[in-house]
Amino acid sequence: MEFDYWNFSTRIFSLLAFRIWTLYFVYTKQLYHMKRISLLVIIVFTTLVSHSQTKIKLEEISQHIGDSVQVSGKIFSGKWLQGATNRPTLLNMGALYPNQLLTVVIWGKDRMNFDYPPDKELIGKEVRLTGKLELYNSKPQLVLYSQEQVAIESN
């Protein structure tokens, strides 16, 4: 019996093509499921983070250092320190400096995330802020990274 190279190579090619198609199909299915699982994880994480803020009164600030909170109050004064390191915008909530109950900080690099100048637009307004409370020089502060953390409640 004579060996048929054409038949052999056709069978090998067919087997290789089938194997490649199978691997591709399995790989793309895995990618599809990995994408779905990743999306689900992102949605769950975002939901948990967005609902993890504790609504507190401005007077209770010192009891919630380190917590992610929502706090409402009036912005009494503010200043953009353009010449300082990191060019912070400082807003005083609850009273005028140095008696403020909360210092709100917006770093210079994050100021572009606001459609308005916060040191001018928010003065005298009741606002609701969302963020993590920290201590700086034994005083509570909240750092804002975007306009979405601020809701203007009234003038």
* Digit-coded pLDDT (tens) for 9-53: 666 766 677 777 666 666 676 666 666 666 666 666 555 555 567
Q: What's the total number of domains in the chain?
A: 2
Q: What Cα–Cα distance (Å) separates residue 33 from each residue in 88, 98, 101? A: 44, 55, 49
User: How much is the pLDDT for 60?
Assistant: 94
Let me know whether 15 and 78 are in one domain. Answer: no
Which two structure tokens, joined as six digits, stand for 135? 């201590």
- Beta pairing class for 126-136 and 150-154: antiparallel
CATH code for the domain of 114: 2.40.50.140
Let me know whether 42 and 113 are in one domain. Answer: no
In this predicted model, what pLDDT tens digit does every residue of 54-89 receive, in sequence order? 899 999 999 999 999 999 999 999 999 999 999 999
Helix (H) or strand (E) segment spanning residue 93 = strand 89-93
Let me know whether 74 and 8 are in one domain. Answer: no
Let me know whether 33 and 70 are in one domain. Answer: no
CB of 118 within 8 A of CB of 142? no
Let me know whether 142 and 66 are in one domain. Answer: yes
User: How much is the pLDDT for 8?
Assistant: 60
* Domain enclosing residue 105, as ranges: 54-154
Let me know whether 88 and 143 are in one domain. Answer: yes
In this predicted model, what pLDDT tens digit does every residue of 95-148 receive, in sequence order? 999 999 999 999 999 999 999 999 999 999 999 999 999 999 999 999 999 999
Helix (H) or strand (E) segment spanning residue 31 = helix 5-50
User: How much is the pLDDT for 56?
Assistant: 95
Verdict on whether the full-model pTM lies above 0.75: no
User: How much is the pLDDT for 150?
Assistant: 96
User: How much is the pLDDT for 1?
Assistant: 43
